[in-house]
Amino acid sequence: MSKHMTPDPRVMKDWQIAEASEERMKPFMQLAAELGLREEEIIPMGRGLGKVDGRLVLNRLGKNPTARYVDVTAITPTPLGEGKTTTTIGLVQGLGRLGYRVSGAIRQPSGGPTFNIKGSAAGGGLAQCIPLTPFSIRLTGDIDSVTNANNLAMVALTSRMQHERNYDDARLARTGIRRLDVDPRRVAMRWAIDFCAQALRHIVIGRGGKMDGFEMESGFQISVSSEVMAILSVARDLKDLRERMGRIVVAQDRQGRDITTADLKVDGAMTAWLVDAIHPNLLQTIEGQPVFVHAGPFANIAIGQSSIIADELGTRLSEYHVTESGFGADIGFEKFWNLKCRFSGLKPSAVVIVATVRALKMHGGGPAVKPGVRLDEAYTRENLELVEKGCENLRQHIAIVRRSGVRPVVCINSFHTDTAAEVRLVRRVAEEEGALAAVSEHWLKGGEGARELAEAVVSAASETNHFQFLYELDTPLRKRIELIAREVYGADGVSYTDEARAKAEAVERDPALSQLGTCMVKTHLSLSHDPEIKGRPRGWTLPIRDILVYRGAGFVVPVAGDIKLMPGTASEPAFTNIDVDVETGKVKGLF
């Protein structure tokens, strides 16, 4: 393909578009210079990507943000997703077409979904982040560093348990080891791996003789759900990260007292793994705008936000900075609103809710949508009744954003099968609920296709909003959960298992824990706890089955419904389509 020809997403796959676009990609040094970075502030790691030393930049530019700050969230998605990252990239490109100095911040894709069902998270069509292959596979090693830091804590814990079992107190004293008396039934951490590996959810370790470790039940979680990743997401700088790393609770002793990474004297070594990872990665859109890529996905089981440091940089270096939150407004935006903004001190100027006619039809009672299965004709033919019923889900998401004091912009992410009447209906509903609405064709037309959306965002950002948190930190934990359940999810109330209630009461009695943020764990496929319930559920109760505490990240984590920290790999995963051209070394088949 000629360098001057525009790729056509109707006949080309995403990886082919990315490969063609990378031929005219800006060199990293040029990209950084156009963003206003100085040579000593950047760490090149290839022709088209590298890292930015946030400490140096923020020391130079000061504490006051200069950019309009825009968050991108969505309605409750189908299992295929609603194109939220594609919209984020498209909006960055659209604002660029309007002449604004703009940057974006998205999350680094996990190897789990990249090689499973969902694929990479670089966007799609003519709204992508490039270079695609390093973006999708390893990047600069941040997730590897998170994995290693997490697993080093587990190595420290399990080796300590073995030595304490094998040595008497006198011998422990001679080696300088303090007996921690770890209760093997109260180990809070898991091992980490960045794949969807259901076979590792529940395992037994330490089999063999007494020199082969402490035998006990254990398990793995996906790396991006680790508390270490949460800390990378919310840390303000290396000092803050180092302090948080020492507060991670790895287990409890037989008296029920917390044992931390600091108790194991492993927190410093864990931080050493993250010295480079704390620097955000800098990539670009296929139209040459800068995009920070930092921290991980999964707002259903993690905080699911691009990092605070990335947003600090973007809001100092740009006129508009667009950041992405995981999944729908009920979980991704709620955590952005009540956790990330609280930690960062940044306040959004506008919030975009991505919606598709396809998803609204599903919420209106359309046939099940399953990855790898051909869509039913209901999704490709006009059906105003399904769209109308499904708009109840959209209404709730608009209400969630408006509850924060910000007027939302509904982005109708356009598909070629959408009819004019269906689009008019969605626009009408959005405007009736007090939102702005815009159709966007960024997938097909890139930044030019996102002009209407960009103009709507500029209009919303120029309004004065009254951003406020849903709760203050002196609000008791169960009251916070009740507020989130009722005002965000639309539940009638909350129920607790005996274990969860006891843990919630313990949190409320502890002055240190009661001031932590609240990071809900819930399915992303429904406003409720049940992924099978679509639309806008009514007359239901949110069941809390467990309460986790992430002291290092600064979260108390209520777990609603049956949600797993380790997803499973499907029968037809994406890795079956990925291969390498052995002549050029180029990876093909990513999507």
Known catalytic residues are 84, 86, 107, 118, 299, 327, 415, 443
Residue 114, both tokens: 């990249």
| Residue 414, helix vs strand vs coil | coil
Amino acid, res. 590: L
CB atoms within 10 A of CB 103: 29
Alpha-carbon span 524 to 360, nearest angstrom? 15
Helices 54-61 and 308-317: angle between axes, nearest 10 degrees: 40
Say which amino acid occupies 327: F
Tokens of 297: 């996905």
Q: What is the CA radius of gyration of the chain?
A: 24
What token pair was written down for 435?
A: 């939102």
Q: Are 121 and 130 in contact (CB under 8 A)?
A: no
Report the distance separating Cα 93 and Cα 103, nearest Å: 9
Its sign, for the CA torsion 508, 562, 343, 150, is positive
CB 307 within 8 A of CB 326: no
DSSP state of 237: S
The 3-class SS string of 247-274 reads CCEEEEECCCCEEECCCCCCHHHHHHCC
Which runs of E-coded beta strand occur in 8-79? 42-44, 50-52, 68-74
What gap in Å lies between CA 322 and CA 309, rounded to an integer? 14
Contact 106, 89 (CB under 8 A): yes
Alpha-carbon span 317 to 333, nearest angstrom: 24
Instruction: For residue 58, give the H/E element and its range.
Output: helix 54-61
Q: Which residues have CB under 8 Å from 289's CB, separation 6+? A: 92, 93, 96, 102, 103, 104
Q: Which of 525, 540, 491, 411 is nearest to 88 (CA)?
A: 411
Q: Are 454 and 72 in contact (CB under 8 A)?
A: no
Q: Provide the sign of the torsion angle of the four alpha carbons 506, 512, 515, 516, taken in this order.
A: negative
Q: What token pair was written down for 80?
A: 């295929």
SS3 332: helix
Between CA 287 and CA 211 the distance in angstroms is 57
Dihedral (Cα; 444, 314, 337, 120), 10-degree rounding: 40
| Torsion region of 166: left, alpha or beta (phi above 0 gives left; psi -120 to 50 gives alpha) | alpha
